[in-house]
Amino acid sequence: MSIDSRGIHGIWLSRWTFIMAATGSAVGLGNLWKFPYVVGNNGGGAFVLIYFLCMLLVGVPVMMAEVVLGREGRNSPINSMSYVVKNSECCQAWQLIGWIGVLAGLLILSFYAVIAGWGLHYILEVFSGSTVGVDGESAALLFGDLTSDPAKLIVWQTIFLGMCLTVVSGGVKKGLGAAVEILMPLLFIMLIVMLIYAILEGNFIAACRFLFEFDIASLSWRAILEAMGLAFFTLSIGMGAIMAYGAYMPAGVSIGRTVLIISVFDSLVAIVAGLIIFSIVFSTSGIEPTAGPGLMFISLPVAFGSMPAGQVIGIIFFVLVVIAAWSSAISLLEPATAWLVEATGFTRFMASFLLIGFVWFLGLGSVFSFNLGRDFTLAGFTIFDGLDFMTSNILLPIGGLAISLFVGFVMNKDALLKQMVDLEGYLLTLKTPSSCKTLSLRVGWDWVLRYVAPTAIAAIFIMGIYDNMSY
């Protein structure tokens, strides 16, 4: 089977389109509140340093491996893995990597769309002026009114999923490519505008201290494991999105350099978001900087309601939240859509529409977890919490572990070396014969995939299971 006959979905218009798409997949709601919150609780600058090291030693190599699988297979994750496994003449069970990624993406999207709907609702709330002058109690009541109303949550969930449908049904060039080429520059522009506002009107010095003070005493082994997990999951590894996007990556484009750029963009967004949020938080009395999800939907509306031009900035912030969620959500839907098109011959619109319907129905469980079904639990989890736990703590680590082992030990070496020619720049860029360069890459990249990454991912997996069992 030739690459041309396999690649039925098209190719990104350029390397930068792929970078924007993959960055959009990586940049999501977690960058806007989880990263700053985790950094603040785990030693500030010391944690950031460990996070960057883990990003380079674990996240980036495994992301490269996933891109390699996608570009070699030139299809949906399911069919890409089928092709690569067949070409590698190995156990057919390795094909489950593709299925795990597609399933994880759909499950994540089912509850992710509910949370993204909150962002849509808050754009309207801030625009209407209902957050102007609110105190903490009033903001909490406003948030409670939203989550306790299933009809309202379903409306916003439906609107957000409709937004995803319009992009994914358009295909690689006219849908996904066109969307990310608009959304990601817009996201960066909004970040810059908000950063300038935070410097001028917020407590920027306090935010820098909170995020970057080097408190080595606060850095425990558990914090190091948390940094590994954050670095791994922030790049969208193991959920099929990067493999699907890699399948549309132009031949001849350096995978190593491209993935490094994506990781830098992703980290910068997280850091800038932290500086923005905490500059605003520390300029407003009575707000707890470690409030987690409540920081975004309760504390920040209070801050926006009391700051100069706060209403305008509040609208920009929640539009930013929705853009980040939207760019991630379309990457979660794409792997399953691509497979359904390949398997059935459906148009992309029909395939996307059917999958959106499934995700919407599954998402009702998450909607009701905040109101009518909040008392329904299984093994101590609501449906929302259960889906979050199953994907973040089970499916994604297993998928990432399997990717690193398969590419490190099992994948056809000729196919791997063909893709590894593009990895110059990740470890060494040497003016040496190609055989020496290939050897240097083999010694470094394969060693990380075979030993470092699996060990780190296994530690993350065990820590996640243990924490939840202890709880």
Pairwise CA distance, residues 122 & 139, whole Å: 11
Please name which of 261, 256, 266, 255 lies closest in space to residue 71, comparing C-alpha atoms: 255
Which of 77-81, 231-235, 274-278, 335-339 is predicted with the least confidence, judged by mean pLDDT?
231-235
Which pLDDT score is estimated for 325? 93
Q: How confident is the model at residue 471 (pLDDT cuts 50, 70, 90)?
A: low
Over residues 80-94, the mean pLDDT reads 95
- pLDDT of 40 > 60? The answer is yes
Over residues 379-403, the mean pLDDT reads 90
- pLDDT of 294 > 80? The answer is no
- Pick the residue with more confidence: 238 or 247? 247
Q: How confident is the model at residue 167 (pLDDT cuts 50, 70, 90)?
A: very high
- Pick the residue with more confidence: 466 or 310? 310
Pairwise CA distance, residues 320 & 335, whole Å: 25
**pLDDT for 102-126, tens place per residue?**
999 999 999 999 999 999 999 999 9
Which pLDDT score is estimated for 424? 45
Over residues 238-254, the mean pLDDT reads 89
Over residues 325-346, the mean pLDDT reads 95
- Pick the residue with more confidence: 31 or 24? 24
Which pLDDT score is estimated for 5? 45
- Pick the residue with more confidence: 445 or 69? 69
CATH assignment at residue 300:
1.20.1740
Which pLDDT score is estimated for 30? 77
Report the b/e string of 204-240 with b at 16+ CB within 10 A: beebbebbbeeeeeebeeebbbbbbbbbbbbbbbbbb
3-class DSSP string for 195-223: HHHHHHHCCHHHHHHHHHCECHHHCCHHH
Q: What rounded mean pLDDT belongs to the chain?
A: 86
Pure H helices in 345-374: 348-368
**Domain, as residue range, for 257:** 3-470
Max avg pLDDT among 41-50, 181-190, 217-226: 181-190
- Pick the residue with more confidence: 334 or 291? 334
Pairwise CA distance, residues 420 & 67, whole Å: 11
The DSSP annotation for 292-326 comes to: THHIIIIIHHHHHHHSTTHHHHHHHHHHHHHHHHH
**pLDDT for 52-65, tens place per residue?**
888 888 888 999 99
Q: How confident is the model at residue 435 (pLDDT cuts 50, 70, 90)?
A: very low
Over residues 267-287, the mean pLDDT reads 86
3-class DSSP string for 9-37: CCCCCCHHHHHHHHHHHHCCHHHHHHHHH
Percent pLDDT > 90 in the chain is: 51
Which pLDDT score is estimated for 2? 42
- pLDDT of 88 > 90? The answer is yes
Pairwise CA distance, residues 449 & 205, whole Å: 40
- 441, 114 in Cβ contact below 8 A? no
Percent pLDDT > 70 in the chain is: 92
Please name which of 328, 155, 116 lies closest in space to residue 234, comparing C-alpha atoms: 328
Pairwise CA distance, residues 117 & 321, whole Å: 10
Q: How confident is the model at residue 67 (pLDDT cuts 50, 70, 90)?
A: very high
Over residues 348-374, the mean pLDDT reads 96
Take residue 35 and report the two structure tokens written for it. 């990263």
DSSP helix/strand/coil, 429:
coil
Over residues 144-169, the mean pLDDT reads 96
Pairwise CA distance, residues 361 & 370, whole Å: 16
- Please, which residues have CB within 8 angstroms of residue 377's CB and are 6 or more apart in sequence? none
Which pLDDT score is estimated for 224? 81
Q: How many domains does the chain have?
A: 1
Over residues 189-213, the mean pLDDT reads 91
Q: How confident is the model at residue 421 (pLDDT cuts 50, 70, 90)?
A: low
Which pLDDT score is estimated for 433? 44
Which of 37-41, 180-184, 397-401, 438-442 is predicted with the least confidence, judged by mean pLDDT?
438-442
- Pick the residue with more confidence: 355 or 52? 355
